[in-house]
Amino acid sequence: MIIGASLKTYFSHARTLSWVSEVAAILDEHPARDRVTAFVAPQFPSIPGALERAGRLAVGAQDLAVHDTGAYTGEVSGAVLAEVGCRYAEVGHAERRRLFGETESVVSAKTHAALRNGLVPVVCVGEEDEAGLDAAIATCAQQVRSALADADEAAATGAVVIAYEPLWAIGAPAPATSDHIRSICSGLRSRIGAVDREISIIYGGSAGPGLLSTISDAVDGLFLGRFAHDPRAVRDILDEVDALSG
């Protein structure tokens, strides 16, 4: 199971480091530790400190630049993220698309930037409204195909994580229903099954403890937001993984 968490800009630097230390300690002692790939995406300035404290917990970035080097003031390149020790890069989150105008072509270029630098892109996809299942699956599949469109032969074999996050569930009091999540993720998996690379599908969108047990047959893990702010919630999810494995 892949268990990821994006801290967005909710935490201070000090709280980020405290959270990473606590979660790393939980992960190191938990019986499910060898059955989980866990990662956190903090703010850029906190990445080096998080890496020092992460232990088994991998560290990623919430975004990356299209270009690796050059006169791009304020950008953070995938090459440097990989150099300092990042393993993941979040790409195309709904907030990046909505608030910062990221288009499908930008998402595709950033996915390629992650892959060519040896990072695992966590490509966020999801339908805008609670439409029918077929339409939602088609929308998500098109977003995946678009994100991978720029990947050349040099980046053709890198692993990709697809984070299914229906826009209407992001920040909502509760996630989408288990039946909805299972139907969309199963349908999406069948649509992208012919893609010649390792692809995992995880669910985000108000995901938290108690959800994984009901959707584990259709997903490869969870992408957590605010419901993971308390490290004890991460322990609860690891308990679920342990129970599912047993």
Q: Count the Cβ atoms, other than its own, within 10 Å of residue 201.
A: 23
Model confidence pLDDT, tens digit, residues 70-121: 999 999 999 999 999 999 999 999 999 999 999 999 999 999 999 999 999 9
- CA gap 124, 113 in Å, rounded: 15
Ranges of each domain in the chain: 2-245
Mean pLDDT across 179-188: 96
Instruction: Summarize the confidence of residues 29-51 as an average pLDDT.
Output: 97
Contact between residue 88 and residue 135 where contact means Cβ atoms under 8 Å apart: no
For residue 27, what pLDDT band results from cuts at 50, 70 and 90?
very high
CATH node for 2-245: 3.20.20.70
| Positions marked catalytic | 93, 165
Mean pLDDT of the chain: 94
CA–CA dist 187, 134 (Å, integer)? 8
C-alpha distances out from residue 185 to 38, 68, 135, 218, 220, Å = 20, 32, 13, 6, 10
pLDDT in the model for residue 246: 73
pLDDT reading at 196 higher than 70:
no
C-alpha closest to that of 62 among 234, 223, 231, 232: 223
Q: Where are the beta strands (DSSP E) in the chain?
A: 2-6, 37-41, 58-61, 88-91, 120-125, 160-164, 199-203, 221-224
pLDDT tens for 110-124 read 999 999 999 999 999
The residues that bridge with 4 in the sheet, in sequence order, are 39, 223
Helix count and strand count (H, E) for the chain: 9, 8
